[in-house]
Amino acid sequence: MARYAMVIDTKKCVGCGDCVVACKTENQTPEGFHRDWIAQQTHGAFPDLTLEIRSERCNHCENPPCVPVCPTGASHIDEYSNITLVHHDKCIGCKACIAACPYDARYVHPDGYVDKCTFCIHRVKQGKKPACVSVCPTHCMYFGDLEDPTSDASRLLKSRKWKVIAPAAGTKPQVYYLI
């Protein structure tokens, strides 16, 4: 079984939002809703400043709080990939998962079900990278299997300093940020 993860280099990311646009067109997300987004954080005071830019999305947590709260089993971990997914036809739109997610990664699709990032599993199964990773002009995003020690993702996590978002939530996110 694979353990897919995304590793994003904040040093290279310029926050252009191409990942957001590529996701929108690839997955045809409805107007005004996004599966991924850009976060920017400025630290310090003029002129001693740092800026961190992150492309964020569902963290596909190892310990996803959105799954146990789902009353219908729509929110689930995919056996093949360890990715957190939603069966659209099982989802009743109760929003329990939205309340449970510490990352605000989910939204209710106008068609009534909860939607979010799938790591473009439809592309991954064809041997492609997720749309956001494939389009990134800065090549700051890496997608790979952490069970495979030779993957870019595994190697980068060994060689670079990294962090995850809100580690204290205990969710064990699988989206890592190189810092």
Partner 1 sequence: MSKKLNRREFIKISSLGLGGAALGCSLFDPFDLMGKAKGFAGPSIEKFPTYCEICFWKCAAWAVKKDAEPWKIEGNENDPLCNGRLCPRGTGGIGAYLDDERLKVPLIRTAERGKQTFREASWDEALNYIAKKMEDIKQKHGPECFALFSHGTGGIFFKNLLRAYGSDNVTAPSYAQCRGPREDAYYFTFGEIIGSPPNTDIKNTDCLVLIGSHIGENMHNTQVQEFAELIQRGGTIISVDPRFSVAASKAKYWLPIKPATDLALLLAWINVIIEEKLYDKDYIERYAHGFEELKAEVKDYTPEWAYPITTISPDLIRKTAREMGKAAPRVIIHPGRHVTWYGDDTQRVRAGAILNALLGSWGRKGGFFFPAKKKVPKYPIPKFPKPAMTWWDLNPDKYPLASEILAQGLCDATVPSIDRKCAIKGWFVYGVNIPMSIPNFPKTLEGIQNLELLVAIDTMPSEITGWADVVLPECTYLERYDDLRISQGRIPTVALRAPVFKPRWQSKPGSWIAKELAKKLGLEKYFPWKNMEEYLDYRLKKIGSSLKEMKKIGVKKFNWNQPLYGLDGEDFEFNTDTGKIELSSTVLAASGFDPVPKYTHHEEPAEGYYRLLYGRAPMHTFGRTTNNPILVQLMSENEVWINADVAKEWGIENGQYIKLENQDGVISNKIKAKVTERIRRDCVYMVHGFGHRSKMMKRSYLKGADDNQLITKVLEDPIMGGTGMRGNFVTFKVEEA
Residues within the interface to partner 1 (CB under 8 A): 9, 11-12, 14-18, 20-22, 24-26, 28, 31-32, 34, 42, 44-47, 49-51, 53, 121-123, 125-128, 134-140
CA-CA distance, 85 to 83, in Å (whole number)?
A: 6
Q: How far is the CB of 134 from partner 1 (least distance, A)?
A: 7
Nearer to partner 1, 98 or 121 (CB): 121
CA distances from 149 to 3, 120, 129, 154, 168 (A): 11, 22, 18, 5, 26
CA-CA distance, 57 to 1, in Å (whole number)?
A: 22
Nearer to partner 1, 45 or 168 (CB): 45
Nearer to partner 1, 13 or 96 (CB): 13
Q: How far is the CB of 138 from partner 1 (least distance, A)?
A: 4
